């Protein structure tokens, strides 16, 4: 490890003991940025790296609610307001039993760079709770969301902080959260994105992360004079991001063959087609079932406890969660001829896995670039709310497509090394410069 990175990381670890996901995310950025900072001493003198890795504000709160049997439950809620130098804090809310301070700080930290890359005026934040929506009734989810918002409402606002969805938070939860905010404040405003169309949502926001990730992969493939046509694709997860990744892959003539959830994976060698995808969307979004049921319905293989990375593919789309591709799985992907990995999830590849991809010189698009289409379209939802107007599907999709191409171009600009594009360095440096310069402009903030 570079000496300066080592000194910096010791400082981070000492200030944030035990927060291993946060350390992992900061280390990846520090390794990209340190050589750039050495060349541009104004950032070093102003201690931008130290400041950018310290949240502007962290809110932690009690979320009491009553379950259907009348028992009182207590969860912990969080909002990490990481950086607002270029716009209001923006980023999702995650509801998952694994949620803790370290995971949300890593996500908020990534969000700062990602949001900067989108070209739109949004700062970075993240929040959520260790509440597990799985197996809960709609009424329980509603009571939880109402209690959560009863504290969160004082910390957010259309020009302050605008949360959205992430794992465990989709249209249903955004609805309950928005309803409670509106009651508490007696105000109808764009304080959340991912809203339904009838009350201020944007067309294409549900599709945006998955579509954007495939657009990004398409741009990476163009650098190799390749298209997606006929490419075998492995996709993990089966939630929002995975579903719309599959939809766009099908539109571009690729062949998605896997999906997964936290219980296991399915492999469909004939390919997941539009009809099967519609069935999955009903299973996951309405019936809230498990991916195993796909194997029973379509008579394909289900492997309990497995992830899709042993399946031979041309392109991989990790779209479930952090650290879902380890070193061995990365090696298996490369050995099996995979030429592109585009991350729909946040930080899905462990650092040792990233090294394998980069050493093999395959196309590797890190989450903060490849999955930025979701938050970018959230920012487009904010614009439409401010205008009190809404744009048609084509207009939003065109803007999303342009944004993903622009992010790709910026990654190439800052990440080109001889004939190879290091998208990690590209995304980190391009994302950093805009925020860092804004912090310099604004004095000691």
- Interface residues toward ligand 2IT, by CB under 6 A: 90-92, 111, 164, 166, 193, 346, 374-375, 378
Q: Which of 101, 120, 109, 29 is nearest to 374 (CA)?
A: 120
Q: 150 contacts which partner out of ligand NDP, ligand 2IT, none, CB within 5 to 8 A by kind?
A: none
Of these, 238, 384, 385, 438, which contacts ligand NDP (CB under 6 A)?
238
CB of 285 to ligand 2IT, least distance (A): 17
422 binds ligand NDP (CB under 6 A): no
Among left, alpha and beta (phi > 0; psi -120 to 50; other), residue 259 is: beta
**Min dist. Cβ of residue 344 to ligand 2IT (A):** 10
Counting contacts by CB under 6 A, is residue 163 touching ligand NDP? no
Residues with Cβ within 8 Å of residue 48, at least 6 apart in sequence: 37, 436, 439, 440
Q: Residue 419 in contact with residue 438, Cβ under 8 Å?
A: no
Answer with the entry of ligand NDP, ligand 2IT, none that 210 interacts with (C-beta below 5 to 8 A by kind).
none
Q: From the list ligand NDP, ligand 2IT, none, pick the one residue 257 interacts with, judged by a Cβ distance below 5 to 8 Å according to partner type.
A: none
Shortest reach from residue 243's CB to ligand NDP, in Å: 8
Sequential DSSP letters for 95-133? E-TT--HHHHHHHHHHHHHHHHHTTSS--EEEEEES---
What is the nearest approach in angstroms of ligand 2IT to the Cβ of residue 93? 8
Counting contacts by CB under 6 A, is residue 212 touching ligand NDP? no
69-77, 173-181, 196-204, 343-351 -> range binding ligand NDP (CB under 6 A): 343-351
Active site residue 126: yes
- E strands, 320-443, are 340-342, 363-365, 416-417, 420-421
Q: Any idea what the Cα angle at residue 167 is, between residues 166 and 168, rounded to 5°?
A: 110
72 beta partners = 66
Return the range that interacts with ligand NDP (CB under 6 A); candidates 141-149, 261-269, 332-340, 425-433. Answer: 261-269
Q: Is 124 in the site for ligand NDP (CB under 6 A)?
A: no
374 binds ligand NDP (CB under 6 A): yes
Report the partner that residue 320 touches, choosing among ligand NDP, ligand 2IT, none (CB closer than 5 to 8 A by kind). Answer: ligand NDP
Catalytic residue among 90, 105, 114, 126: 126
261-296 residues labelled b (16+ CB within 10 A) or e (exposed): beebbbbbeeebeeebbebbbebbeeeeebbbbbbe
Residue 128 zone, left/alpha/beta (φ > 0; ψ -120 to 50; rest): left
Between 62 and 101, how does the x/- string for binding to ligand NDP read (CB under 6 A)?
----------------------------------x-----
Which class for 14: exposed (0-12), middle (13-18), buried (19 or more C-beta within 10 A)? Answer: exposed
Q: Which pair of tokens denotes residue 431?
A: 């994302």
Q: Could you tell me the smallest distance in angstroms from the CB atom of residue 12 to ligand 2IT?
A: 22
> Which residue(s) pair with 89 in the sheet?
161
Please report how close the Cβ of residue 404 comes to ligand NDP at its closest, in angstroms. 13
Contact pick of 129, 150, 240, 425 for ligand NDP (by CB under 6 A): 240
209 binds ligand NDP (CB under 6 A): yes
Q: x/- string (CB under 6 A) for ligand NDP, residues 164-203?
A: -xxxx-x---------------------------------
Q: Can you state the angle between helices 274-281 and 240-251, rounded to 10 degrees? A: 160
What is the smallest separation between the CB atom of 387 and ligand 2IT, expressed in angstroms?
Answer: 18
Maximum pairwise Cα distance, the chain: 64
Residue number closest to ligand 2IT, CB atom:
92
Residues forming a β-bridge with 104 = none
Report the DSSP pairing between strands 420-421 and 416-417.
antiparallel
Tell me the C-alpha distance between 235 and 272, whole Å: 11
For binding to ligand NDP (CB under 6 A), which residues are involved?
A: 96, 165-168, 170, 209, 237-242, 261-263, 319-321, 344-346, 371, 374
Give me the active site residues, please.
126
């Amino acid at each position: 490890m570079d000496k300066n990175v080592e000194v910096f990381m010791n400082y981070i670890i000492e200030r944030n003991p035990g927060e291993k996901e946060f350390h992992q995310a900061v280390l990846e950025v520090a390794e990209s940025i340190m050589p750039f900072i050495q060349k541009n001493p104004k950032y070093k003198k102003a201690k931008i790296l130290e400041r950018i890795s310290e949240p502007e504000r962290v809110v932690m709160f009690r979320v009491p609610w009553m379950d259907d049997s009348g028992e009182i439950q207590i969860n912990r809620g969080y909002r990490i307001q990481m950086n607002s130098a270029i716009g209001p804090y923006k980023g999702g809310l995650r509801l998952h039993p694994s949620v803790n301070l370290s995971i949300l700080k890593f996500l908020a930290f990534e969000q700062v760079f990602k949001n900067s890359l989108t070209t739109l005026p949004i700062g970075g934040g993240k929040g959520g709770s260790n509440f597990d929506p799985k197996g809960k009734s709609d009424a329980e989810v509603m009571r939880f969301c109402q209690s959560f918002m009863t504290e969160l409402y004082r910390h957010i606002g259309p020009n302050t902080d605008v949360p959205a969805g992430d794992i465990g938070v989709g249209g249903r939860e955004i609805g309950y959260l928005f309803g409670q905010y509106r009651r508490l404040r007696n105000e109808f405003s764009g304080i959340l994105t991912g809203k339904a169309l009838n009350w201020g949502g944007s067309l294409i926001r549900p599709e945006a992360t998955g579509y954007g990730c495939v657009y990004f992969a398409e741009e990476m493939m163009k650098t190799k004079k390749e298209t997606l046509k006929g490419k075998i694709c492995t996709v993990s997860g089966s939630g929002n991001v995975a579903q719309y990744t599959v939809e766009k892959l099908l539109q571009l003539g690729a062949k998605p063959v896997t999906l997964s959830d936290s219980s296991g994976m399915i492999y469909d060698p004939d390919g997941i087609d539009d009809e099967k995808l519609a069935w999955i969307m009903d299973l996951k979004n309405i019936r809230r079932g498990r991916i195993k049921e796909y194997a029973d319905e379509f008579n394909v293989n289900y492997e309990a406890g497995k992830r899709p990375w042993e399946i031979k593919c041309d392109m991989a789309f990790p779209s479930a969660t952090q650290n879902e591709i380890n070193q061995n799985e990365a090696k298996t992907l490369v050995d099996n001829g995979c030429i592109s990995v585009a991350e729909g999830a946040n930080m899905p590849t462990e650092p040792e896995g990233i090294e394998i991809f980069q050493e093999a010189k395959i196309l590797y698009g890190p989450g903060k670039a490849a999955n930025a289409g979701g938050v970018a379209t959230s920012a487009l939802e904010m614009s439409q709310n401010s205008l009190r107007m809404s744009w048609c599907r084509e207009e939003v999709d065109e803007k999303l497509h342009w944004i993903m191409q622009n992010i790709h171009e910026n990654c190439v600009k800052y990440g080109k090394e001889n004939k190879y594009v290091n998208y990690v360095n590209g995304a980190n440096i391009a994302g950093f410069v805009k925020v860092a310069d804004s912090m310099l402009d604004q004095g000691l903030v």
